């Protein structure tokens, strides 16, 4: 136990673990056999998601439509903004092995340092939070996705808001929106802080910059075309999947048709209820739980949520549990999330259980749905207290 406590209190050891995750995931992807997809015209690399991001940059500068299939290059659609495609040019010219490692490195390091930048919690608690997220971080990194980056940016945004660094907070949230649109939910956090005029104009400035910056390689007409194509693709994509989400849970557990729009409206209404408690805005634990609510909400109400997306949700669970005073019910829910959300896709459970039970019944999402309900309850009813500060272990 003493050794485990030393590990939790030693940031360098945990940094080595996340660096190992980036390196291991890269090597695994590069050395893995090619794979095929239903309807694919050829085998594709095991790091297909990275190639989607990489090729989006070349499609951007070549004046192509980013939001159609390019089946001779990779499988599936590019679903991010033109700005994200432009930013990926930093890595696009490198060999795949180097670029993939750099991409994985960015994701794990942003999440790692965002946890250690969180205010008002001790070093050991930050180590506990990171340890709780490690398996989901590995899952996200093995899939070369941007979800760990989004989780880290939202954690950074909260910390910057707490430290009155509004330009940086707005930058982080706008970055997440231009990666995946659901980051827009995090703008609700601005209501919790003073000087809302400054928050408004800093956010508007970053929106303007991020919207128009691709024009340097596209020209105005092509950029307008790309935004229209992006919107059309997202609209069509909405009907394709129910995901590991509240929508998928309602359909599979209760066998009834579900209108995605009304489910999302109901979810947003419930999400907003705690914001009516204006007098609680001065309570740090209340603000932290609103962050947790954002992180969980954007996953469980996302009709395209898949297993690698849950690093965002699990970050929210960690914030919810570790940034308020603990209790037994919260601990039980935390364990359920670790077992049935984090571990459910792993080989700890037999394959037939994963394929015949966990996946069809969206079990991965269920503990997080329960926890989000508990978060809203805590925000509305509970007299929230901060987590007691432990004596930090000196590295």
Give the model's pLDDT for residue 388. Answer: 85
pTM: 0.94
pLDDT digits (tens, 9 = 90+) for 113-152: 999 999 999 999 999 999 999 999 999 999 999 999 999 9
3-state SS assignment for residue 35: strand
* Contacting residues for 24 by C-beta, under 8 A, at least 6 apart: none
Burial of 352 (0-12, 13-18, 19+ CB in 10 A): exposed
Rounded to an integer, the average pLDDT of 80-108 is 96
Rounded to an integer, the average pLDDT of 48-53 is 96
The share of the chain scoring above pLDDT 90, in percent, equals 80
Give the model's pLDDT for residue 393. Answer: 36
The answer to whether 312 and 150 have CB atoms below 8 angstroms apart is: yes
CA dihedral 225→229→230→235, nearest 10 degrees, is 140
Of residues 339, 336, 288, 340, the one with CA closest to residue 315: 288
State the average pLDDT for the chain: 93
Token pair of 79 as six digits: 């679903």
Cα–Cα distance, 373 to 353 (Å, whole number):
26
Cα–Cα distance, 93 to 90 (Å, whole number):
7
Cα–Cα distance, 373 to 13 (Å, whole number):
35
The share of the chain scoring above pLDDT 70, in percent, equals 96
């Amino acid at each position: 136990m003493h050794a485990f406590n030393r590990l939790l209190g030693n940031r360098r050891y945990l940094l080595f673990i996340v660096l190992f995750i980036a390196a291991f995931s890269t090597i695994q992807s590069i050395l893995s056999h090619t794979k095929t997809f239903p309807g694919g015209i050829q085998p594709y690399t095991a790091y297909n998601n990275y190639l989607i991001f990489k090729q989006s940059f070349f499609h951007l500068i070549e004046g192509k439509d980013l939001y159609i299939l390019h089946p001779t290059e990779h499988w599936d659609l590019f679903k991010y903004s033109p700005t994200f495609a432009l930013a990926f040019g930093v890595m696009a010219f490198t060999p795949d092995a180097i670029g993939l490692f750099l991409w994985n490195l960015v994701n794990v390091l942003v999440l790692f340092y965002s946890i250690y930048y969180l205010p008002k919690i001790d070093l050991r608690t930050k180590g506990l939070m990171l340890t709780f997220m490690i398996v989901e971080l590995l899952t996200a990194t093995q899939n070369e996705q941007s979800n760990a980056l989004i989780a880290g940016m939202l954690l950074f945004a909260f910390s910057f808001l707490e430290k009155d660094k509004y330009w940086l907070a707005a930058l982080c949230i706008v970055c997440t929106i231009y990666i995946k649109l659901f980051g827009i939910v995090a703008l609700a956090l601005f209501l919790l802080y003073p000087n809302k005029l400054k928050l408004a104009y800093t956010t508007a400035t970053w929106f303007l910059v991020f919207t128009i910056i691709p024009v340097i390689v596209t020209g105005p007409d092509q950029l307008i075309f790309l935004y229209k194509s992006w919107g059309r693709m997202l609209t069509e994509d909405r009907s394709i999947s129910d995901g590991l989400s509240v929508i998928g849970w309602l359909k599979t557990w209760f066998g009834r048709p579900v209108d995605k729009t009304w489910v999302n409206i109901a979810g947003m209404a419930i999400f907003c209820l705690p914001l009516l408690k204006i007098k609680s805005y001065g309570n740090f634990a209340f603000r932290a739980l609103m962050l947790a609510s954002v992180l969980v909400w954007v996953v469980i109400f996302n009709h395209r949520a898949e297993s690698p997306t849950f690093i965002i949700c699990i970050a929210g669970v960690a914030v919810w549990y570790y940034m308020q005073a603990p209790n037994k019910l919260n601990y039980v829910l935390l364990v359920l999330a670790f077992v049935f959300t984090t571990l459910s896709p792993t080989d700890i459970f037999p394959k037939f259980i994963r394929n015949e039970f966990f996946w069809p019944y969206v079990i991965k999402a269920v503990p997080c749905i329960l926890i989000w309900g508990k978060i809203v309850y805590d925000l509305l009813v509970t007299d929230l207290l901060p987590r007691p500060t432990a004596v930090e272990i000196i590295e």
